[in-house]
């Protein structure tokens, strides 16, 4: 019952333009509504992250992400879809509907269909994708616990959805969907 209340509170915070923290496959993440420019701006300010770098979006299924991407070749799609749901982030060509505060200076967007049960449940309850960026200030190590998140952002988050990490050590690998090339280990 407590988890349902916390999930509703996190979704309500997202709908109000808030910034939340939640566990993912390997690190704690900060998230917000990717279509709310003010929420993304606040998240970037908390992290002290340059908007030009772009942000990752996570979702419960590819349908939630599809409006943000241009589908590449069938071979490239299979490359990504064979790893989802799972701890694999892929960079797809961005659609015209992808806001520049998400894609940054790129014409692409990093996306993941998460396998983390709580992150997936969050996306389902929210009804769409959310931003997923490590819960740390730029250049600092990612948070590996709820306590570390609270210490990194004391009193600055609108909700924290407690739960365990997904067992992966560190952030997800990021690959280019067209070439298959690894962009981040």
Tens-of-pLDDT digits for all 185 residues of the chain?
568 899 999 999 999 999 999 999 999 999 999 999 999 999 999 999 999 999 999 999 999 999 999 999 999 999 999 999 999 999 999 999 999 999 999 999 999 999 999 999 999 999 999 999 999 999 999 999 999 999 999 999 999 999 999 988 878 899 999 999 999 87
* Number of neighbouring beta carbons within 10 Å of residue 180: 12
The verdict on pTM exceeding 0.85 is yes
Instruction: Give the separation between CA 29 and CA 45, rounded to whole angstroms.
Output: 15
Instruction: Give the separation between CA 40 and CA 131, rounded to whole angstroms.
Output: 8
**pLDDT, position 147:** 97
- Helices of type H across 84-175: 100-103, 117-126, 146-152
Instruction: Give the separation between CA 111 and CA 93, rounded to whole angstroms.
Output: 10
2-184: CATH homologous superfamily?
Answer: DHBP synthase (3.90.870.10)
């Amino acid at each position: 019952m407590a988890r349902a209340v916390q999930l509703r509170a996190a979704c309500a915070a997202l709908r109000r333009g808030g910034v939340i923290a939640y566990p993912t496959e390997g690190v704690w993440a900060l998230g917000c509504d990717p279509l709310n420019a003010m929420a993304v701006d606040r998240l970037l300010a908390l992290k002290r992250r340059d908007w030009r770098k772009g942000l990752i979006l996570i979702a419960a299924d590819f349908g939630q992400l599809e409006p943000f991407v241009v589908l590449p070749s069938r071979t490239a799609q299979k490359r990504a879809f064979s790893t989802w749901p799972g701890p694999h982030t892929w960079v797809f060509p961005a659609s015209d509907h992808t806001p520049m505060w998400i894609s940054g200076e790129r014409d692409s967007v990093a996306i993941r269909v998460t396998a983390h049960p709580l992150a997936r449940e969050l996306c389902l309850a929210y009804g769409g994708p959310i931003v997923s960026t490590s819960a740390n200030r730029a250049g600092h190590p990612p948070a590996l616990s709820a306590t570390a998140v609270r210490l990194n952002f004391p009193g600055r988050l609108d909700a924290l959805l407690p739960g365990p990490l997904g067992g992966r050590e560190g952030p997800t690998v990021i690959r280019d969907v067209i070439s298959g090339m690894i962009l981040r280990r």
